[in-house]
Chain A
């Protein structure tokens, strides 16, 4: 049986003034039917590029990809019949039309009869909890409700494969939680529905996904269930240290061979830096604290932490998401 989504050595290059930018570098993935699969990586890692290729909006430079068993290059029309794409932060329709008018319009792109469309719209508005906004113009909806509309639009055609590109981008905690819950319910209820989700929110991937692929600079670094990934990290020690001053310098750790990786969060308000460091043994950690003391930094707190997906990322890349995003955008 073919995979729901399969990519084989996908490469995508973009022209640039000097050298071409390699957005995807030999990406190979297999996603099973009914799976909620997460693509986790910082901004600029290549997540959106991959989802655009799979949804037939972009051609790969080389490699092959199959969605629902159809080639995205040779049979894009067949691919489009089984997919839907929801991009977070996108305008979900025409501002001058109401929520239900927008949904009716998009239902027509999938050939739904008007009566079937109306029934479906009613159900989606109810399930996503915004029936009272059915007649509100899209331009007057808040970001959260626009995103609900966006998701409703993506589910109108009962897709076999749903692509979600940062579906909770810019949403408040409560709305994000509600949407995440709905997507998981939808996938589990349908069971035939496959979800490919891109996100740079670790908790989102952890909470929703059966399996996660960590992507960085266009390359897949790891692919497994969130639990297995975290379990694999348990052989290491993860420490969280809060030190005085935002000027703290951690470059010395680059040369320590038993440091797997680290990330830092600086707070200007409190003039502190929180360091998260993954080491192979606790003895290495003692060396780190003495180095910090040599910098005349006051260690405010030290805690041992349980592994998270963020730690998995740090262990693979050597640094945290935020540092990597800053580097990608530089």
Chain B
């Protein structure tokens, strides 16, 4: 039991290490991952300034542009990860090893979080410095807790997607593409979701990022505290509690199904 736990922790740490090492060894990537989000963010800021929108909208955009980096990472580097591992031939090694597949997903998720935090902090700092966004943080610990819960919920969703994508061939790429823009829109990355119709808001409430973004803006731009955003915190905790076991179950189910269908290591389907 203890031996198994140690092995899984080592595997998770090793996968995290690969992700951090791989993600930062070629600085060209780092530059592209910083410049592109800042450009997108700038476009929205200039648009709001041209429309003479209230100043807090600029803050909304900077927070949205920062957190959306995590969604991009979850989608491309987490959800589609098993598909890429299958294509490159490393998936086989994971599934032959005496480790929990969740340990690998955990390592991928933690590595992705660390990498994206580096990028997100840089994007946030650039946004704040370039557009002079006034921050009003009255409860830093609430902000920290909220941020942590948001990214855990997001990566739990990523783990679920990764499990579901296990059976996928090239469709994984298309599905990731299909999910990217609607989530940008529904979660209110560059505008408050309160401006969306009720039915759309209802759909958006199934995305953890929607709660995280909304609460984060209120806490660091509008200076609200725990009592104002407790509902969002509860929602994020529920997301985590539901998504994690669901990811585990989905992974087990998909692994079994792909072994039955012979698609676990079959490439270029």
Please give the residue numbers on chain A whose beta carbons come within 8 Å of chain B beta carbons, in ascending order: 12, 14-15, 52, 55-59, 77, 80-81, 83-85, 87, 90-97, 101, 104-106, 108-112, 153
Contacts and interface: CB of A to CB of B under 8 A. Distances in A.
A92 B98 CA distance: 18
B87 to A, nearest CB: 9
B10 interface: yes
Contacts of B89: 87, 90-92
Interface string B107-119: 0000000000000
A105 B17 contact: yes
B18 interface: yes
Contacts of B181: none
Given A14-B262, A105-B18, A108-B11, A94 B96 contact: no
A104 B14 CA distance: 8
B18 A94 contact: yes
Contacts of B17: 105
Contacts of A12: 262
B90 A91 contact: yes
A112 B11 CA distance: 10
B132 interface: no
**Contact size class for B?**
20 to 34
B88 A91 contact: yes
Q: Is the interface of B mostly helix, strand, loop or mixed?
A: helix
B160 interface: no
A104 B26 CA distance: 20
A1 to B, nearest CB: 23
Contacts of A93: 90
B92 A80 contact: no
Nearest to A95: B88
A101 B20 CA distance: 13
B25 A57 contact: no
8 contacts: A55-B96, A77-B98, A87-B92, A90-B89, A91-B89, A96-B22, A104-B14, A105-B15
A15 B263 CA distance: 11
Interface string B248-269: 0000000010011110110000
Interface in B75-121: 88-90, 92-99
A57 B261 contact: no
